[in-house]
Amino acid sequence: MKKIRSIESILPPPAPHMVGNGFRVHNFFPRNGAMNVQRMSPFFLLDYGSKIEFPPSDTPRGVGPHPHRGFETVTIAYHGKIAHQDSKGNSGIISEGDVQWMTAASGVLHKEYHEKEFSKQGGLFQMIQLWVNLPAKYKMSPPNYQPIRREEFGQVVLPDEKGVVEIIAGNFNETKGPARSFTPIEMYNARLKKGANLHFSFPENYNTGFMIVEGAVTINEQQATTDHFVLFANDGTDIYLEATEDAIVLILSGEPIQEPIVPYGPFVMNSKQEIVDAYDDWNNGKFGVLED
């Protein structure tokens, strides 16, 4: 029997920090004391880059070559453009509204910078990066890269021109998203006009959270505003949302991975020995080569 899922907490944006010199982010999870490494499994990390104006620069800001193993990075651009390159030969531009889904798995080096022309002009920048954990049996799979343009998302248009739900991964109202994931994941952008109403239903055991990217909404009779993260308890299935202003909301829900998590630096594994092995492999050049 379906029932309304209660809100566990509405988290304000934590103090921001810089990742490299190009990404000012608020880390919503994992957070000591507030949200442990398992709380939003299979989503391990959410770095939210709230709106910031970058001045023009001839040298693109960003993060130089660094390794990852054991998970996937999902980058969503809302304002600005990001250039990506990795040691497997993949590269591309993440433009406004686009998604880059990189499966690090057994190991990859990558770098991310503001796109060259955006950097020269400067401007408004807003993005989200998620780390999505992989089950143990897939952690050493070959790396993969999914560049997903906004026009490729599944789309559910709301009645009376009240907005659209863009399905990145999963299935909403029988419309599927293009992203391929290793475990069941629902990931949507809801772009809403004031007065829009939505109903979501997720399995009770799915860990679920909404990131309010823009505007204000009422969710199960509680108000949530820009730059806040809404964490739901695992005590029901149904969520009702109304936009009290024009709004953009990132919806995340997924089946938890019931395995130990041992994270360290850029690696997310299942044991300390696997972390040691990851550093050994990286230091021995097994992640490939990527010039700055």
Mean pLDDT over residues 150-155, rounded?
A: 98
What domains can be seen in the chain, in order of their start residue? 15-282 (2.60.120.10)
Residue in 234, 226, 184, 191 with CA at minimum distance from that of residue 209: 234
**Above 90 in pLDDT, residue 34?**
no
* pLDDT tier, 252 (very low <50, low <70, confident <90, very high otherwise): very high
Mean pLDDT over residues 254-268, rounded?
A: 97
Which tens digits make up the pLDDT trace of 50-71?
A: 999 999 999 999 999 999 999 9
**Percent of residues, the chain, with pLDDT higher than 90:** 97
pTM of the model: 0.97
* pLDDT tier, 292 (very low <50, low <70, confident <90, very high otherwise): confident
**Above 70 in pLDDT, residue 33?**
no
Mean pLDDT over residues 4-12, rounded?
A: 96
Q: What is the DSSP string of 129-154?
A: EEEEE--GGGTTSPPEEEEE-GGGSE
* pLDDT tier, 221 (very low <50, low <70, confident <90, very high otherwise): very high
